[in-house]
Structure 1
Amino acid sequence: MQDDDSTEDKTIPTNLRLLLLLEELAKAGVPTTPTAANEVLGLPKPTIHRLFHTLENEGFLQRDIDGRSYAPGARLRRLAGSVLSTSRIRMVRQTVLSTLAEDVGETCNIAMPERHTMVYLDRVETKWPLRIQLPVGTEVPFHCTASGKMYLSSLKSRLFNKYLSIATLDTQTEHTITDPDTLKAEVEAIRERGYSTDNEEFMKGMVAVAVPLLDAQNRLMSTLSIHAPTQRVTLDELKAHLPRLQAAATDLAELVMH
């Protein structure tokens, strides 16, 4: 029996197919079916399904809840984080973060969405002796952190409603939003204003503000946030730094895209 590769469109070299497929999935930004991805690639049907199967088996993709679509798997998400942590990018990123932390006088963080949590990718600590320890690699919930709620606000309504239907909104403090309707209203407000806050919702005595880092398609790549103990600053005082925070987010996003 003749292999389907012998009849494939040879305009896409074999060794580029997986990379181009991953590129299309990244551009889509949502769980994607083989059929939808192949509208761009134009490969024979058996080939595109074989590529998806290979990427799933190797951990680069994982099936979405609907059983038909695929989203980035753990291995691909780790790869994305590693690319963002390459020495040249990280050096400039640290410079931007350090300057921001110096200007606002508080700890600054970059966090990326993982499958079920936000993960701290980078941070620069405040010089104050009193600080909150959330080191690189820390995982924090979506529903009660500034970075997590910023991410939730970037989801399309269908995906956000799916999240609300299956998520457990655990109580972290007396201020944690645990009612789905209240969280939905909060996320809608974040979409409107373009930034999110954490008013002692994740950790008692900590406040935070976050803004998005956007890619070339204006989609959220990660978040930039500042947090501080309430013994030193109020949430309103942190919000006063929003223009500086948003300017730094623009600089960081341009760093990744160029």
Structure 2
Amino acid sequence: MPNATESAPAARSERIPTTLRLLTLLEEIVRLGRPVKPSDLSGTTDLPKPTLHRLFQTLEAEGYLQREPDGRSYSVGRRAREMAVATLSTQRVRTARLAIMRALAKDVGETCNFAIPDRESMVYLDRVETDWPLRVQFSVGTHVPLHCTAAGKLYLATLSDVRLDSYLRNANLDAKTPHTLTTPDALRAEIEKVRAQGFAVDNEEFLEGVIAFAVPLRDKNGRMPATIAFQGPTQRLSIEAGYTHLPRLKRAAEELSALL
């Protein structure tokens, strides 16, 4: 029978309001940034295992967590992702972000995109269009593929080797243009290049006649919650010219990361 000292942490944790326990649990899962089992948190939350299982089930039922294919692990669910997007879109944060993006677009002379990963694609959370009449127009909220966009390839570069291999085995690497990388080996080699250099290039892989450069934003844990990119038509922006804008793009990424 446990003594009073042994049962004290569990007793204290059980006195925490259920709502706060749910938020604390979700915060820890997001901090870890990977699928977790209830048992993975038993040593960091002071919650009894039955309570952990019950809280996980509650978060799953409400859409804040979703169960992984193994049936035992959980990852962030739809409602938690929507909350993250809404947080990044709050007016004060967005005002500062758009100011940075407008300065970048002015200096580079091309459209700038702020994108975040959303399951099997990247979604544009913000865009600042160039003043040139010749431009590629996408609306905020547009989803773009992972395998043929600069932002998407940056996200793929953050995956573990196991998850990247799974993606390459199962994803539909359909050709958007004659330049799209459509084989697992070719895309894997490209991802390794992205990992090594710290930025990604879309060389007419998503839209023929359009190139893009993207760099990651980093949070305090070193993870990539979003990307910043510029894109333009090849009639006006060459690959060689794009490389000259990389220092300015990286500076914008540092400023945007400071807002996270």
Aligned counterpart, 2:3: none
1:7 and 1:108 mapped to 2: Cα distance? 50
**Deviation >2 Å, runs of 4+:** 6-9
2:11 pairs, out of 6, 9, 12, with: 9
The 5 A counterparts of 1:25-40 are: 25-40=29-44
CA–CA separation in structure 2 for the residues paired with 1:239 and 1:74: 36
Counterpart Cα distance in 2 of 1:10 and 1:132: 57
Task: Give 1:66 deviation, angstroms.
Answer: 2.2
CA distance in 2, matches of 1:38, 1:148: 34
How much does 1:83 deviate? 0.2
Conservation of the 8 A alpha-carbon contact between 2:214 and 2:230: yes
Check whether the contact 2:9–2:46 (CA below 8 A) recurs between aligned residues. no
Structure 2 counterparts to residues 119-158 of structure 1, below 5 A: 119-158=123-162
Alignment size in residue pairs: 251
Percent identity over the alignment is: 51
Alignment of 1:24-173 (within 5 A): 24-173=28-177
Secondary structure, aligned partner of 1:246: helix
State the AA in 1 paired with 2:160.
K
Letter in 2 for 1:149: K
What CA deviation, in whole Å up to 9, does each residue of 1:194-241 have, x standing for no partner? 000001101111100000001111111111100001111112211211
> Which range moved further: 37-46 or 189-198?
37-46
Which residue of structure 2 aligns with residue 3 of structure 1?
none
Does structure 1 retain, via aligned residues, the 8 Å contact 2:10–2:46?
no
CA distance in 1, matches of 2:11, 2:158: 37
Instruction: Tell me the residue number matched to 2:232.
Output: 228
Q: TM-score, normalised by structure 2?
A: 0.93
CA distance in structure 1 between the partners assigned to 2:224 and 2:43 by the alignment: 24
Distance in 1, matches of 2:240 and 2:46, equals 53
Provide the alpha-carbon RMSD of the alignment.
Answer: 1.4
User: Where does the alignment leave 5 or more consecutive residues of structure 1 unmatched?
Assistant: 1-5
The alpha carbon displacement at 1:39 in A equals 2.3
1:244 pairs, out of 237, 248, 251, with 248
1:220 partner SS: coil
Q: Distance in 1 between matches of 2:100 and 2:233?
A: 22
Rounded to whole Å, the distance in 1 between the matches of 2:11 and 2:241 is 59
User: Is 1:180–2:184 an aligned residue pair?
Assistant: yes
SS of the residue 1:198 aligns to: strand
Check whether the contact 2:66–2:77 (CA below 8 A) recurs between aligned residues: yes
Alignment deviations for residues 115-162 of structure 1 (CA, whole Å, 9 cap, x no partner): 111000111110101110111100011000000000000111111112
Task: Output the amino acid matched with 2:131.
Answer: K
Residues in 1 aligned to 2:159 and 2:51: alpha-carbon distance in whole angstroms? 31
Shift of 1:77: 0.5
Distance 1:205 1:65 in 2: 39
- Quick one: which amino acid aligns to residue 91 of structure 2? S
Larger radius of gyration: 2
